[in-house]
Amino acid sequence: MPTQQRRPPSSASSSSRATRSRDIEQVDEEIVFDRIHPSFMIPDLFTQPPPDETVEACLPFLTGEDGENECNEHGVPGIDRARHVRFLHQCLGKLPARFVAADASRPWFLYWCLSALTMLGEDVTSYRDSIIQTARSMQNDTGGFGGGGRQLSHIATTYAVVLSLALVGGEEAYEVVDRKAMWRWLGSLKQPDGGFQVFVGGEQDIRGAYCAAVIISLLRLPLDLAPESPAYTGDSSANLLTGVAQYVRRCQTFEGGISGQPNAEAHGAYAFCALACLALLDHPGRSIPSYLDVPRLIAWLSSRQYAPEGGFSGRTNKLVDGCYSHWVGGCFPLIEACLNSNPSRSSSGGAVAADDPTATATATTPTITKTSLPPADESLFSREGLIRYILCCCQDQTKRGGLRDKPGKMSDAYHSCYVLSGLSSAQHQWELDELEPDAQPDAAAAAAAEPNDAAASAGPNKQADLEAVWAVLPYLDGLQVFDNKDRVRPIHPVYAIPQPTVRAIQAYFAERPGF
């Protein structure tokens, strides 16, 4: 049985049944029916307890019996800042030779480490000069950033470089980006069905849509398409954001979760991409319920949190893993803010009712009526459970430091970043400005609407105001199982970097709308 599986998968049980049937054929039928107990034919799925090695591995940490950590009165250890910080500085230094296979992920290492250090309260501006130098070497004249010098531009590495430049901040860092080439390159990834390829000629998936929306928003890129773009229509009826929300909608699966591409398996990483992408296309109180079946998505997301571990799995029948503290956990602040900014709590109908003749843009094609969505008065997941999993099970408390998937795994930069991102979102509450019932969808929403939507033709091809107004507070409802010294910095629920960092880069480029 593969240890990655929380429950025996149905395929394994049917194959064991097939093996047994073959055995039986080799035996004289009369003997078989005389001697073989009926349980011989029952698949393991229905007779064996699930292999819960993960629960076994986590329990000593959750109960404090591992004896290594000093716990507070709730049985929760503090965050081992000094060790994690040292680990992350080490990861940013020269890596051992065995990391050569990860060469194409170098921008990711930069982002993971800078982001984790920032959440731990460290000042990362000392890395500015080296990030600038590294980023320059990764940029292609044809736009975007590759994983290293002379590597093809990829939307994920480009996203990681742009976030890294934002994190170190400052004019010189921002100016590394060739925005005109970036704009052209994003246009060449844009497809007529609304989605984005992850590199020129490469596959199309929801990471592409999320990364593109983040890059466009942070760099304040114009939305119009160059004639070379595969999505160019010859007039202004389509732009960089046209059909993105419809593409996201096609990725919601029968389970209620989100897959990387239409008709694939729902996975937590893609749920975050979907929600954050929609939150960039319009006010999330409008775009999320207009394009996703929110109750089914909440049901799927809730099923990702396991007891007794408290952490999240990435998909059905799989194990908890610290990185899903961000990919799945980070979905909840977006959904909570969306539900709580929804005016339907006091009235019937959506923000802009589908039958409202003045309705425009995204509001013209809702699939869900918002009357079915109550406000999220309480947390939609167990923050206590997640925080316990993170602080008890995901910290490497040896000299090594860093954060990890689960007990028994090595810490690494990726898990350090996303475990801390999940901790940050569990420790904070994000609120959105209330969605006015008669509010006009913003310019990005107009741009994202279908070509035949009323607002699309009027949709400005100029820089849109992509951001709803988000405000953050410490999350104070319910039992606080961690001490205040163990709170990490808040990160913006959409961009996953601090809100002042987002504002600084956007403000810089908003003043320079041309190329």
Using CB under 5 A, which of the segments 121-129, 320-328, 424-432, 449-457 binds Zn ion? 320-328
Q: Binding pattern to ligand FPP, positions 57-96, x when CB under 6 A?
A: ----------------------------------------
Neighbours of 35 (CB within 10 A): 9
Q: For K ion, which stretch binds (CB under 5 A), given 45-53, 106-114, 208-216, 314-322? A: 314-322
Least distance between Zn ion and beta carbon 323 (Å): 3
| SS3 state of residue 153 | coil
Our answer to whether residue 415 is catalytic in this structure is: yes
Angstrom distance (rounded) from CA 67 to CA 312 = 25
**Contact call for residues 397 and 313 (beta carbons, < 8 A):** no
Q: Which of 178, 282, 321, 486 is catalytic?
A: 321
**Of residues 6, 190, 207, 492, which one binds ligand FPP by CB under 6 A?**
207
H-only helix segments in 253-293:
268-281, 284-291
Stretch that binds K ion, among 39-47, 72-80, 317-325, 471-479 (CB under 5 A): 317-325
Tokens representing 335?
């959904």
| Annotated catalytic residue 235 | no
CA atoms within 13 Å, Cβ hemisphere of 234:
0
Min dist. Cβ of residue 4 to K ion (A) = 8
Kindly state whether residue 412 participates in binding K ion, applying the rule CB under 5 A: no
Task: Clarify whether 331 is annotated catalytic.
Answer: no
Kindly identify the residues of this chain, within the stretch 2-41, that bind ligand FPP according to CB under 6 A.
4
Q: Which of 178, 282, 336, 405 lies at the binding interface for Zn ion (CB under 5 A)?
A: 405
Among 323, 337, 386, 481, which residue interacts with Zn ion (rule: CB under 5 A)?
Answer: 323
Per annotation, catalytic residue among 113, 277, 323, 393: 323
Report the chain's terminal Cα–Cα distance, integer Å. 56
178, 405, 442, 453: which one is catalytic?
A: 405
Residue 412 touches ligand FPP, criterion: CB under 6 A: no
**Residue 478 zone, left/alpha/beta (φ > 0; ψ -120 to 50; rest):** left
For the CB of residue 303, give the shortest distance to K ion in the complex, in Å.
Answer: 16
* From 83, 283, 304, 318, the catalytic residue: 318
Closer by beta carbon to K ion, 122 or else 321: 321
The CB-of-324 to K ion minimum distance in angstroms stands at 8
Question: Is 323 a residue of the active site?
Answer: yes
Least distance in angstroms from the C-beta of 403 to Zn ion:
10
Stretch that binds K ion, among 185-193, 229-237, 316-324, 367-375 (CB under 5 A): 316-324
DSSP 5: B
Tokens 């119009």 belong to residue: 224
Supply the minimum distance, in Å, between the C-beta of residue 124 and ligand FPP: 20
Closer to Zn ion at the Cβ: 13 or 411? 411
SS3 per-residue string spanning 173-214: HHCCCCHHHHHHHHHHHECCCCCEECCCCCCECHHHHHHHHH
Which residue in 145, 210, 247, 482 binds ligand FPP (CB under 6 A)?
210
Calpha distance 474→430 (Å, rounded): 9
Q: Using the minimum distance from each CB to ligand FPP, give the nearer residue, 74 or 409.
A: 409
Among 178, 205, 309, 321, binds K ion (CB under 5 A): 321
Of 83, 154, 220, 267, the active-site residue reads 267
* Separation of alpha carbons 437 and 419, rounded Å: 37
Q: At 475, which amino acid appears?
A: Y
> Any residues with CB less than 8 A from the CB of 39 and at least 6 apart, and which?
47
Partner whose binding site includes residue 249, from K ion, Zn ion, ligand FPP, none (CB under 5 to 8 Å by kind):
none
Residue of 124, 269, 280, 390 interacting with ligand FPP (CB under 6 A): 269
User: Can you spell out the DSSP letters for 335-393?
Assistant: HHHHHHT-GGGTSSS-SS-TT-TT--GGGGS-SS-GGG-----S-SS-HHHHHHIIIII
Q: Per CB under 6 A, which of residues 145..174 are in contact with ligand FPP? A: 156
Alpha carbon separation from 30 to 27, 33, 34, 124, 467 (Å, rounded)? 9, 5, 6, 76, 74
Pick from 309, 260, 355, 221: which is nearest to 6 by CA?
Answer: 309
Footprint (CB under 5 A) of K ion, residues 25-64? none
Q: Which residues, in sequence order, are bridge partners of residue 320?
A: 313
Q: Which does 315 bind (CB under 5 to 8 A by kind): ligand FPP, K ion, Zn ion, none?
A: ligand FPP
- 353, interface contact from ligand FPP, Zn ion, K ion, none, CB < 5-8 Å by kind: none
Answer yes or no: 324 catalytic. Answer: yes
User: Which region, judged by CB under 5 A, interacts with Zn ion, from 85-93, 400-408, 426-434, 441-449?
Assistant: 400-408
- Please say if 211 is a catalytic residue: no
Told to check if 321 binds Zn ion by CB under 5 A, we report yes
Task: Give, for 432, the enclosing helix (H) or strand (E).
Answer: strand 428-432
Among 314, 333, 385, 493, binds ligand FPP (CB under 6 A): 314
Phi-psi region of 277 (alpha: psi -120 to 50; beta: other; left: phi over 0): alpha
Which listed option, ligand FPP, Zn ion, K ion, none, makes contact with residue 154 (CB within 5 to 8 Å by class)?
none
Contact 441, 361 (CB under 8 A): yes
Tell me how far, at minimum, the Cβ of 40 lies from ligand FPP, in Å: 31
Who contacts 90 (Cβ-Cβ below 8 Å, separation ≥6)?
A: none
Residues noted as catalytic: 267, 315, 318, 321, 323-324, 405, 412, 415
